[in-house]
């Protein structure tokens, strides 16, 4: 009989106890993201082998004990792991950066992935979320979140544009970046570090560290540089397939992962984010409530969902039902309906770069940001 592991064990009298319990669960998730010896088959629901559970339990305990010792910046430990990173140059307090558990590339980014025709894809459920890039004159592409959940970064190219499709499950942050900086093209990997519970990426060329939520280099030679955002969005596989019958979808990677399974079971309904010690959002907005982020403004998703669309500050923001949460149930395709968001310029109709992230992350990175809560 398969077993599942759930985030969000709650103790209303002790957030410290909750943090320890969530941390142990997260450590198991970290273990599950590492490669295993034999390839796991592709069923939509992947039962956990009892022996694997026993081993995972041991590894989870080991990781959960190890993480606190190296959670905060330690120049001696991190310099050994990152000899090519210039830690003397940084734009943030290094003490804010913590180890999330996995080492450098412990969560393997994908490079130049294979794609298949929309008509040939048979594994995805209709409501499964995919990240979408549609560039004028180029074939539309979909990047299934079932793969991004386990890899977090995809380095790809659409036409002449080298891009990185990124997804941080802990912040529900899905962003797409142009990989070009001046006359060089960067490629990105997962550092295994977190800041405000958000993924810290690194570029393989200079090993500078980049904040995924903002696209800014925060440590190393490229500190202060900001990546250009490419408009994209997350929607259901059904919506993408219907609109783009001639489109492409990223094929299943050749890695031993239980793709389609959600290692963050119940995370988006838990009380607190993982490894986050900052302030809660204002206006009584729950930390793990979804908000639509455009620049330094955030609209609660519940507000847009209630009306279907909002025209405000030069933007048209629309909500459509039918997209599953990737951070809810054990199988991503079965997640509760959180819908999808499109943000367009109200005048031109062009898509606008945005994110649908958790409220705590917006508040952490934009503490003086504007909350578009309406009247």
What is the residue-level pLDDT of the chain in tens, covering all 375 positions?
333 445 544 333 234 333 333 333 343 444 344 433 222 222 333 333 333 333 333 333 333 333 444 456 776 788 889 999 999 999 999 999 999 999 999 999 999 999 999 999 999 999 999 999 999 999 999 999 999 999 999 999 999 999 999 999 999 999 999 999 999 999 999 999 999 999 999 999 999 999 999 999 999 999 999 999 999 999 999 999 999 999 999 999 999 999 999 999 999 999 999 999 999 999 999 999 999 999 999 999 999 999 999 999 999 999 999 999 999 999 999 999 999 999 999 999 999 999 999 999 999 999 999 999 997
| pLDDT value for 71 | 59
Q: What's 348's DSSP letter? A: T
97 contact partners, CB below 8 Å, separation of at least 6: 72, 73, 193, 194, 195, 200, 209, 219
| pLDDT value for 132 | 98
| pLDDT value for 31 | 39
Separation between Cα atoms, residue 319 and residue 343, nearest integer Å: 9
| pLDDT value for 34 | 41
The CA-based diameter of the chain, rounded to the nearest angstrom, is 58
Domain boundaries, the chain: 15-71, 76-250, 267-371
Phi first, then psi, for residue 363 (nearest 5°) are -65, -35
Contact 27, 19 (CB under 8 A): no
Distance of CA 131 to the CA centre of its chain: 11
Q: Could you identify the residue written with the tokens 């339990």?
A: 57
| pLDDT value for 205 | 98
Contact 33, 61 (CB under 8 A): no
370-371 β-sheet, strand order? 355-358, 290-294, 297-300, 370-371
Counting every residue written for the chain, the total comes to 375
């Amino acid at each position: 009989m398969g077993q599942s592991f759930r985030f969000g064990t709650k103790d209303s009298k002790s957030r410290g106890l909750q943090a320890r319990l969530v941390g142990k669960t997260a450590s198991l998730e970290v273990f599950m993201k590492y490669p295993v010896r034999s390839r796991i088959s592709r069923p939509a629901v992947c039962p956990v082998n009892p022996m694997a559970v026993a081993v995972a339990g041991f590894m989870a305990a080991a990781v959960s004990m190890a993480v606190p010792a190296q959670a905060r910046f330690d120049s001696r430990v991190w310099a050994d792991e990152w000899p090519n990173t210039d830690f003397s140059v940084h734009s943030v307090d290094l003490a804010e950066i913590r180890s999330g558990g996995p080492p450098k590339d412990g969560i393997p980014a994908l490079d130049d992935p294979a794609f298949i025709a929309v008509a040939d894809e048979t594994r995805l459920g209709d409501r499964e979320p995919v990240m979408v890039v549609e560039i004028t004159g180029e074939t539309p592409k979909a990047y299934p979140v079932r793969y991004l959940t386990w890899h977090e970064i995809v380095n790809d190219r659409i036409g002449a544009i080298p891009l990185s499709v990124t997804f941080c499950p802990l912040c529900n942050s899905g962003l797409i970046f142009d990989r070009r900086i001046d006359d060089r093209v960067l490629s990105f990997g997962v550092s295994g570090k977190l800041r405000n519970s958000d993924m810290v990426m690194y570029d393989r060329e200079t090993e500078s560290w980049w904040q995924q939520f903002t696209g800014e280099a925060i440590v190393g030679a490229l500190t202060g540089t900001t990546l250009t955002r490419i408009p994209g969005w997350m929607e259901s596989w059904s919506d993408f397939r219907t609109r783009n019958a001639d489109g492409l979808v990223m094929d299943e990677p050749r890695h031993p992962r239980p793709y389609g399974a959600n290692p963050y079971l119940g995370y988006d309904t838990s009380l607190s984010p993982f490894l986050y010690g900052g302030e809660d959002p204002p206006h009584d907005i729950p930390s793990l409530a979804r908000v639509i982020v455009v620049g330094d403004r955030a609209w609660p998703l519940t507000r847009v969902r209630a009306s279907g669309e909002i025209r405000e500050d030069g933007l048209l923001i629309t909500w459509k039902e039918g997209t599953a949460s990737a951070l809810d149930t054990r199988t991503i395709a079965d997640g509760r309906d959180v819908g999808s968001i499109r943000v367009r310029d109200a005048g031109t109709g062009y898509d606008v770069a945005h994110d649908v992230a958790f409220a705590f992350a917006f508040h952490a990175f934009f503490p003086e940001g504007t909350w578009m809560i309406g009247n």
